[in-house]
Amino acid sequence: MALCNPVVVVPGITASRLRDEYPASPEIVWNALKKDFRRVSLHPDDIRYELIEPARVRPDAAFTVVYEDLLEELRYNLSDAEDRPVPVYPFAYDWRQPLETTEALLARFIDEVIDRTKLLGHYHRADYADEPKVDLVGHSMGGLIIAGYLANAGPDARVGKVATLGSPFRGSLEAPLKITTGTADLGESEPSASREREAARLTPALYYLLPNFDGAVDPQDPGIPADLFNSNAWQESVVDTLASFIKNHGVERTNRGERVTRAAELFDTLLQSAKSHRRKLETLNLSDCRLTADDWLCIAGVDAETRVTLKVESHYNKPLFDLTNDDRKNQWQSKDDNARFLTGDGTVPLRGAQPAFLDDVCLVCVRPKDFGYWEVKDRVLQRASGFHGMLPNLNLAHRLIVSHFRGRAQKGTWGRAAPSVRPSAWKPAISGLTRKDD
């Protein structure tokens, strides 16, 4: 039996532990239970480094509660014998940083995984070194990092297959909510308190999750841009917060006018970097990476109430976000195919989960009800973290990924097509996958 490629699992935003290596005994400053917002906030003068110095915060490990089941299931089900294990590596990273930084680290990590796999006797005997590749799994923002890595690597990408879970390729409306208020459901932890607002506004990666799908922003005044990558679409409070950070923590003494100018420039830089990355994903051509649509399993969560649009009012000729729950919808059960798109996984709208480099016919949709009767632990975690955050714990998702990497549908594995996709037109990456219609 042919060996599966080694696998790298890329977690979502906030789902890697961070530790401060400056103390003699390194100290965890971010994990599932501890969230030290001040210690992980970045400095307005140089967002590569921490607000509170001296410090040296580094990634530690992926969250066990979210990814342990996925890692163990892949290790067990991809290996055909105990003495022929398929390596499955979690890739922890500093989720605060621009995605370009993380993509470069992922490229080096893939090289390392390949080199380590060459040292395994059963891979050596199978001539793995002749054309070494890895398979990649990305949850949430992890899928964007994978897509960005492939866009950078082009034909040099050493990737066989990809599976993504709930990745906001065209963004999530929870991102502007988080930046604006500090509270949002991004899926890897319980909705947070407003004390996160300042930290969020200085977290570059969060801007990469801003939505740009059709209908994401509904300006109530023609003078307000519908593009959240345009700083003129935002409330002034974001720049005010950045100016306050510069006042309190900036190295140079400045007057208020200078601080506001610097803050506006910083905000625009964060937005334009994210916009450039989104453009890179929108123009990604899989064939340039020696991949086809059959090599990419794109799983999207549906049938959960999800914010599907953001109304922007005009208040004294300035934008004001209407952050009510009226824009959270779930019309998956509607008879109207267009209305059925008004759903998602609780964090990522279905339209935000549709990558530009794959046709709608390739999407595989899963529902919260796909959690089995015996997945009691997962149901408890789902209530705490939402469907989006617990997608990596869904047994059906495990079976889908294993089926994709092994090249055949496992028994008891199914998926759903996106709305309006006819049965004869559905083309998931898994050949012979059972289609379930609700």
Indicate whether 355 pLDDT > 90: yes
Instruction: Work out how many domains the chain is built from and give that number.
Output: 1
Where residue 378 falls among pLDDT bands split at 50, 70, 90?
low
State the average pLDDT over residues 137-146: 98
3-state secondary structure (DSSP) of residue 211: coil
CATH number at residue 137: 3.40.50
Indicate whether 375 pLDDT > 80: no
Indicate whether 188 pLDDT > 60: no
Asked if the structure places residue 41 within a domain, the reply is no
88-117 pLDDT tens trace: 999 999 999 999 999 999 999 999 999 999
Look up the pTM and report it.
0.95
**DSSP assignment of 363-415:** -EEE-GGGS-TT-HHHHHHHHHHHHHHHGGG-HHHHHHHHHHHHTSPPTT-EE
Determine the pLDDT at residue 381.
Answer: 56
On the 0-12 / 13-18 / 19+ scale of CB atoms within 10 A, 307 is buried
Q: Quick one: how far is CA 111 from the chain centroid?
A: 22
Asked if the structure places residue 430 within a domain, the reply is yes
Determine the pLDDT at residue 317.
Answer: 87
32 vs 60: which has the higher pLDDT: 60
Determine the pLDDT at residue 183.
Answer: 55
Domain that holds residue 217: 7-20+59-435
Q: Measured between alpha carbons, how far is 169 from 165 in angstroms, rounded to an integer? A: 11
151-187 pLDDT tens trace: 999 999 999 999 999 999 999 999 999 898 765 554 4
State the average pLDDT over residues 220-247: 93
Asked if the structure places residue 28 within a domain, the reply is no
State the average pLDDT over residues 249-272: 94
Asked if the structure places residue 30 within a domain, the reply is no
Determine the pLDDT at residue 191.
Answer: 45
Least confident span in 18-22, 79-83, 181-185, 357-361: 181-185
Determine the pLDDT at residue 316.
Answer: 86
Average pLDDT, the chain: 92
Determine the pLDDT at residue 197.
Answer: 74
Where residue 325 falls among pLDDT bands split at 50, 70, 90?
confident
The token pair at 366 is: 């899963």
Indicate whether 192 pLDDT > 50: no
State the average pLDDT over residues 315-329: 88
Indicate whether 193 pLDDT > 70: no
The token pair at 183 is: 């509270």
Determine the pLDDT at residue 189.
Answer: 47
Determine the pLDDT at residue 373.
Answer: 58
Where residue 379 falls among pLDDT bands split at 50, 70, 90?
low
Asked if the structure places residue 189 within a domain, the reply is yes
Q: Measured between alpha carbons, how far is 386 from 368 in angstroms, rounded to an integer? A: 9
